[in-house]
Amino acid sequence: MQSDFSGKTVLVTGGTGSFGDVVVRRLLERNCRDIRVFSRDEAKQYLMRLKICDQRVSFHLGDVRDRSSVDMAMRGVNLVFHAAALKQVPNCESFPDQAVLTNVIGSQNVIRSAITHNVERVVCLSTDKAVYPVNAMGMTKALMEKTAQAEARRIAREGAKKFTTICVVRYGNVLCSRGSVVPVFIEQILAHRNITITVPAMTRFLIRLEEAVDLVETALNHGEQGDTFVRKSPACTIENLALAVQAVFSSNAPIDILGARPGEKMHETLATAEEMKFARELGDAWRIPLDPSDMIDPVVGNKTPYSGQDYRSDNTRQLELSEVVEVLAGLPEAQVLLKNR
């Protein structure tokens, strides 16, 4: 089911990032009335303005840490996609205070501003690293989720007739997004350097940018107060991901093994066993309710209960090397690089 954005004003925080590029294009295709791109990077805003060149898109310079700049952009908004975050694990490990300011306090500013301005829906983007977090990035994203859920509980408790619905979407590694590992591998190959990987057997969920936007649409269409939506995703090892990039770019670059970085896990988790007991299937996603007591019965899709395991990158479907090659070769970002090469 496609969302109807006709006549809607949408705010995308962190809108100059990879997610913003895709979601803005989709919003334009769906006849959105007004799209507000909110970020603190004026250079990226300038480039995005030249690339899009559409009067329906406006750019708002500001920082989610600054509530006043968020309030300025929030006036008259119907929907909010909250994508602004510090996402790099090593950076957040080195500067955890900065991760707190953006991922926690900044998210609180966005959510509370949306409530104050009677926004219809807020969808907050989270990550598998927020589940059983072991690094600062994951911990602050987990607190972002808790902040969203706390505000959702408060709204539900007050029972207001006109209220803001707050949902969270959680997914794994977005292929070819800025700062992700695939562009690093590609850059190393194009620069005729060795490919560097952490641990060959390390596994990660894989998702395309378009699929991440699909998950946000699922939250818009089906989300109830405080819901968390998890994308069903396959996974692969870091070694196979590197080998697949080699194959796509016809490279024989040697692979160097560096070992795990501080704060990295061997395997990621998208949902805990406890969450999965109450998850409902919605096509390519699961809906996890804020309050499991609201569910008729704790089963997946009203069929059989989930196995009771965490939904992890090592127990989901593992992609074979040939499948990873096929996925990478089909990415528009990879096709552009191959053409330019």
pLDDT tens for 130-189 read: 999 999 999 999 999 999 999 999 998 887 666 899 999 999 988 877 778 888 999 999
Sheet with strand 165-171: strands edge to edge: 57-61, 34-39, 9-13, 79-82, 121-127, 165-171, 228-231, 285-288, 280-282
pLDDT bucket at 304, cuts 50 / 70 / 90: very low
Query: What sections of the chain are H helices per DSSP?
Result: 18-29, 42-52, 67-74, 89-94, 96-99, 107-116, 136-158, 181-190, 209-222, 238-248, 273-276, 321-329, 332-340
Given a cut of 60, whether residue 298 has pLDDT beyond it is no
Q: Which of these is catalytic: 8, 129, 232, 265?
A: 129
Query: What distance in Å separates the CA atoms of residue 329 and residue 104, rounded to the nearest whole number?
Result: 36
| In 53-130, alpha helices (H) | 67-74, 89-94, 96-99, 107-116
Residue 299 has pLDDT above 70, yes or no: no
pLDDT category at 341 given cuts 50, 70, 90 is low
The secondary structure of 42-74 as a DSSP string is: HHHHHHHHHHH--TTEEEEE--TT-HHHHHHHH
Does 336 have pLDDT greater than 50?
yes
Cβ proximity of 10 and 79 under 8 Å: yes
The CB density around residue 154, as the number of other CB atoms within 10 Å, is 12
Ramachandran sector of residue 108 (left: φ over 0; alpha: ψ -120 to 50; beta: rest): alpha
Mean pLDDT score, 220-239: 95
Nearest to 328 by CA among 226, 250, 215: 250
Segment 209-219 shows an average pLDDT of 94
pLDDT-derived band at 271, boundaries 50, 70, 90: very high
Assigned CATH topology for domain 9-172+207-232+270-311: Rossmann fold (3.40.50)
Question: Residue 263: pLDDT band by 50, 70, 90 thresholds?
Answer: confident
State yes or no: pLDDT of 53 exceeds 50: yes
Least confident residue range of 172-176, 261-265, 276-280, 296-300? 296-300
Question: Cβ-count burial of 28 within 10 angstroms (0-12 exposed, 13-18 middle, 19+ buried)?
Answer: middle
**pLDDT, mean over the chain:** 91
Which pLDDT does position 103 carry in this prediction? 98
C-alpha distances in angstroms, 64 versus 61, 84, 316?
10, 7, 35
- Can 129 be counted among the known catalytic residues? yes
137 and 87 in contact (C-beta within 8 Å)?
A: yes
As a dihedral over the C-alpha atoms of residue 227, residue 231, residue 237, residue 239, rounded to 10 degrees, the angle is -110
- The pTM assigned to this predicted structure is 0.91
Q: With pLDDT > 90 as the criterion, what percentage of the chain qualifies?
A: 79
Query: Residue 184 corresponds to which amino acid?
Result: V
Interval 324-335 mean pLDDT: 85
